[in-house]
Amino acid sequence: MGTYACNMLIYPKSTYPLINNIRKTFYFPLRNCTFQTPREFSFGKVHCQLGAPNAEDTGKPENKVEKPRYKWVEIGTNITEAQKKAIAQLPPTMTKRCMAVMKQIICLSPQKGSLSGLLAAWVRRMKPDRADWLAVLKELKIMDYQLYLQVAELALLEESFEANVRDYTKIIHDYGKQNRLQDAEKILLSMKSKGVICDQITLTAMIHMYSKAGNLKLAEETFEELKLIGETLDKRSYGSMIMAYIRAGMPKQGETLLREMDAQEISAGREVYKALLRAYSMTGDSEGAQRVFDAIQCAGIPPDVKLCGLLINAYGMAGQSQKAGIAFENMRRAGLEPSDKCVALVLAAYENENKLNKALEFLVNLEKGGIIVGKEASEILAGWFRRIGVVEEVELVLREYAVGEANFKVPSSPLAFAHSEPNDRLIGYP
């Protein structure tokens, strides 16, 4: 038995009388069909291939359907009011080449063709240079950000644009800001396929993007790739990776990079320190929060009220109300005016440890210092005093300590706030 592949069958003798004795070759549209020959013949199976013979067999080229070219028609007055308004807002200083393509882009419709076809037609007709491309992209970025990204990506394919590594980086960064991870990776792959070498700025943009997307693994891989290119890492590179660790709930790894930066005398930005301090604060890691707070001062960054509040919160969540109070007093000694949020954090720390006397002493000291308890701190006090049923007793104690006009008699005081909701009071100590 034999198996034969063919795309034609040769009949030496026709069965039809009108064409008898004429040798004909017929092509049949067959593919992957099997003809079983009679058993008395030993020809076996003949495998035939569907379709007409290909170009290689006939020597004739295949006819390919080409997309119609964009039909460039000068923009007249027969356009919509919105299009007229957009064209009127174009800067008059634009060159004629740029003005022409901007009008075409504004008036583009599916019936006229595609955006890529439009740009190709512009290149053929007007031979723009890089300056023209940049002018068009600048205007599009203001007019329509999504359209700008489309044109910027198409511009990378045009020789007249003379794309460089920074052009790729800008698009990657723009996609990163919109969390369009796949689009950014596509640009990176296109960049590498064309032999454009990734530099520090490009890879840093990728790390920042992976960090925002919560993809720690890719961020780490890109950071290692960044180290291998041999360039010195800067604070943006380190900062992006530290933020990736913070977002992944791994502040200690971020702090390790912070020490690595310090060893190289690279100072991290204020926002990076603040993010790391907040990460420790929200988990009640007072030791980590204190280390970062000290690092902030060593870096020459003066702590503000918000940074001090994060340190106070860390001690409060860790059940260390005494240290929370010390951090509050250190803030005052540094000349910072405590916010109501900081006062509330100290009171919450005392409440968590049920240290009412300490809280009262703290309030008296605030009063002596001319600090009025605000709404947030008042709500904490009022809720605490109502739960233990000592609103009136505490008011009497505070009046004994008061010097001059007591701040607690004004409607915004915590005790006035507590008295305003008598139905919610609990009788007796729990």
The pLDDT assigned to 110 comes to: 84
Q: Between 364 and 7, whose confidence is greater?
A: 364
Q: How far are the Cα atoms of 134, 135, 191, 347 from residue 159, in angstroms, in the given order?
A: 14, 16, 14, 66
* Average pLDDT score over the chain: 80
- Give the separation between CA 208 and CA 302, rounded to whole angstroms: 26
Q: Any idea which of 83-97, 159-173, 273-287, 382-396 has the lowest mean pLDDT?
A: 382-396
The pLDDT assigned to 354 comes to: 92
- CB 198, CB 229: distance < 8 Å: yes
**Could you tell me if residue 169 is left (phi over 0), alpha (psi between -120 and 50 degrees) or otherwise beta?**
alpha
Q: What is the pLDDT of residues 218-253, one digit of tens each?
A: 999 999 999 888 877 899 999 999 999 999 999 999
Beta strands in 212-369 (DSSP E): none
Reported confidence tier of residue 313, pLDDT bands at 50, 70, 90:
very high
Q: What is the arithmetic mean of pLDDT over 358-387?
A: 87
- Closest CA relative to residue 314, chosen from 273, 270, 345: 345
Q: What is the arithmetic mean of pLDDT over 390-404?
A: 59
Q: Between 424 and 240, whose confidence is greater?
A: 240
Reported confidence tier of residue 53, pLDDT bands at 50, 70, 90:
very low
Question: To 10 degrees, what angle do helices 356-368 and 375-388 make?
Answer: 150
Q: Any idea which of 272-276, 313-317, 384-388 has the lowest mean pLDDT?
A: 384-388
- Residues belonging to the chain: 430
- Give the separation between CA 375 and CA 341, rounded to whole angstroms: 9
Reported confidence tier of residue 395, pLDDT bands at 50, 70, 90:
low
- Is the model's pLDDT at 342 over the cut of 90? yes
Q: Between 335 and 5, whose confidence is greater?
A: 335
Q: What is the arithmetic mean of pLDDT over 372-386?
A: 86
Q: What is the pLDDT of residues 269-311, one digit of tens each?
A: 899 999 999 999 999 999 999 999 999 999 999 999 999 999 9
Q: What is the pLDDT of residues 2-48, one digit of tens each?
A: 444 444 444 344 433 333 444 444 444 444 444 444 444 344 444 44
Reported confidence tier of residue 109, pLDDT bands at 50, 70, 90:
confident
Reported confidence tier of residue 400, pLDDT bands at 50, 70, 90:
low
- 129 token code pair: 């240079």
The pLDDT assigned to 412 comes to: 42
Q: Which amino acid is at 92?
A: P
- 150 token code pair: 């489309």
The pLDDT assigned to 336 comes to: 93
Q: How far are the Cα atoms of 227, 238, 338, 402 from residue 313, in angstroms, in the given order?
A: 37, 27, 14, 28
The pLDDT assigned to 307 comes to: 96
- Give the separation between CA 220 and CA 210, rounded to whole angstroms: 9
Alpha-carbon radius of gyration of the chain: 38
> Is the Cα torsion angle 317, 320, 324, 330 positive or negative in sign?
negative
- 344 token code pair: 């509330």
The pLDDT assigned to 240 comes to: 93
The pLDDT assigned to 391 comes to: 67
pTM, two decimals, is 0.69
The pLDDT assigned to 394 comes to: 63
The DSSP code sequence of 180-234 is: -HHHHHHHHHHHHHTTPPP-HHHHHHHHHHHHHHT-HHHHHHHHHHHHHT-PPP-
The pLDDT assigned to 71 comes to: 79
- Give the separation between CA 42 and CA 40, rounded to whole angstroms: 7
H/E element, 36 = strand 33-36
- Distance of alpha carbon 427 from its chain centroid, rounded? 52
Angle at 20 between CA 18 and CA 21, to 5 degrees: 145
C-alpha neighbours within 13 Å on the C-beta side of residue 151: 25
* Cα first-last separation, the chain: 98
